[in-house]
Structures are given as C-alpha cells and as structure tokens.
Amino acid sequence: MTEDDLIAMLFAPIAGEGSLALRDDAALIAPSPGHEIVVTLDTIVAGVHFFADDPPDAIARKALRVNLSDLAAKGARSRGFLLGLSLPKDFWAGVGARDWLEAFARALGEDARLYACPLLGGDTVATPGPLTLSITALGEVASGRMVKRTGVKAGDALYVTGTIGDGALGLRARMGETPGLSADARDFLVARYLTPQPRNALAPAMAEFASGGMDVSDGLIGDLTKMLRVSGVGARIDLRAVPLSPAARALVAQGAEWFERALTGGDDYEVLAAVPLERAAAFERAAAAVDVPVTRVGEAVAGAGPPVFVGLDGTPRSFAKGSYGHF
C-alpha cells in the first residue's frame, strides 16, 4: 500500500470541507465572520503516552481528543485537524497491519463526526522508531474571546469539570498495579486512561463566562500552579472539594499516595476554569445545560505566591512534584 493508497482508501472518506479531498499540499480554512483561529498541537508516542498494544481505535481517539481538550478549554469550536502519522517501518510486515489501520481510521472518522472536527490534511511517514501521532487541531472563537491561561483574576471562582485523577490511576490499573480494586472500578479507570472524554460541549460556556482556563493534562496541581503563576495571582484550593470518581475514591481510601497520584499524575483532559464570582451561577447553569459536571474547588486570591492547598485533614499542604515531566 502506498501513501497515496492509504490516503485514498482510509483517510479521504473521513476528510472534510477544506481538506481538498486530501489531494493537495495544504488545507484551507476560513474562520466565520468575527472569529479567530485557535490552533494547538500535541504529539503522542507509543511507549510514552500510550501502549503500543492499545487498541487502534483507542489510540486514534486519544491522539485527537488530547487536542480537542485544548480547544475546549480555550472556548473554541473545533473546525478540523491535521494528522502527522509516523508508522514504524516494520509496520507493514506485521500481521493485520491493514486491519489495524482500518480500525484506526474508522475511529478517527467517528470522532471527527462526534466532535465536528473533520480531517483536513497531514503527512504519513515511515519511522525506525515507535508509532508517533502528532495532531494539529484548529478551532475558532469569537475575536478576542479565547480563554487564556493568563486571564485569571483575584476573586475568581476556580472550577474543574468531571472527576480528577481517573486517567493517572487508570494507568496504574492498566499496569496491574491496583490490587484490591473491583473489576468494575478497574475497568472504569482503564477506560478513562485509554480514551479521554474532552469537554468540548463546554466550549461556548468557557468563551462566554471564563476569565481564564486551561485543560488539565499534566496533573491538576501542576497545571493549576502554572495557570496561576502566569496570571500573577495566588489561590486557595480546598482539596477536599476535588471531585473524585467512586473508583478513584476506593483507591484513595487505601492510602494517601493514591490521592497524590490522582492530583499530580495527569491524563485528565478535564477543564480548569476561572470564573468571576458574579458570573459563577450563570456558568454553572450553562455547564449543567450541556451535561458537563463542574465543581468549585477554590478561588483565586491577590498576590503572586504559589497556591495554598488545604489537604484532606483541613490543614495546608504542599506537593514535591505537581505534574508529570517528560525530561
């Protein structure tokens, strides 16, 4: 199968307007009147961000969804994506290579429809290294309304969506390192690790109500600390308020190290939002209207120091390492 065959058979069917049917060197995209383009790039590598033997549909979804999550946090509506696919050079010699790619492309196409984010273009190369997917996602937001990390103001309420830590704990579960957990709880966490559920439904509410925001991908503590630092404000965060799934709570009940992992391990792909107090009720209503659970975990305060975290015992605590580091 040549690169052109691959494109024509597997990728062209999931390509959208502006892709020029993947027969050109480049794609075209025009923002709606009064809008700007928001663009983000995330790379995931087999053996680093996922396991090489994860199902192809899960790998496809993860690659796209980690990018969709960034668009959601910025308040942007997805418009399309480009796929940089580096296939191991022995890929075609493997059993079921064609089936693998078909399942991969099918899942990518399903997500493209689900999130209204068609394939616009990309590049496929052979690599002596592991399977690597570098996706660039493009979205649009009303001009001047992109939700920035730097926009948090003292007094803002701080929210997180969904539940925190499932991805990081799911990685442990995936590695068989969560003894004593029920099969259901383990399956739930592994699914949360394998397939992020980005909060794109919340994007309009983010653009309308949030003063600052980012997606939680490298660990809540580290990401929150980073956002507050670039905004020049501090915060008081009540860790007792951090929403945990029943499965995560079952692990946290086994020991404090599980809570630390949940807060610092990453792979959440939830949204962290700073919302001015007077808009908090409207934000909560808008989130409820699109079925995205949001939980207030604290508030931004004046002053540039690091955030104060109130631990499960009601006293302040700190973290040696707030997030996952690549290097």
Which residues lie near a copy of itself (CB under 8 A)? 1-4, 6, 20, 23-31, 36-45, 47-49, 70-71, 73-74, 76, 82-84, 86-87, 92, 120-130, 132, 134, 136, 138-139, 143, 146, 148-150, 214-215, 226, 230, 325-327
Two tokens, residue 307: 């955030």
Is residue 306 a contact partner of residue 225, using CB atoms and an 8 Å limit? Answer: yes
Residue with tokens 């949030």: 210
Residue 321 to residue 327: CA distance in whole angstroms:
13
Tell me whether residue 132 or residue 178 sits nearer to a copy of itself (CB atom): 132
d(Cα 139, Cα 75) in Å, to the nearest integer? 9
Nearer to a copy of itself by Cβ, of 122 and 234: the residue is 122
Report in angstroms how near the CB of residue 252 gets to a copy of itself at its nearest. Answer: 28
Q: Which is nearer to a copy of itself, 40 or 245 (CB)?
A: 40
- Min dist CB 93 to a copy of itself, Å, is 11
CB of 260 to a copy of itself, least distance (A): 19
Complete DSSP assignment for 284-320:
HHHHHHTT--EEEEEEEESSSSPPEEE-TTSSEE--S
Q: Which of 137, 157 has the CB closer to a copy of itself?
A: 137
Task: State which residue, 73 or 185, has the beta carbon closest to a copy of itself.
Answer: 73
Minimum distance from CB of 162 to a copy of itself (Å)?
Answer: 17
What's the min distance (Å) between Cβ of 1 and a copy of itself? 6
Angle CA(142)–CA(147)–CA(151) in degrees, nearest 5?
A: 130
Burial of 310 from C-beta contacts in 10 A (0-12 / 13-18 / 19+):
middle
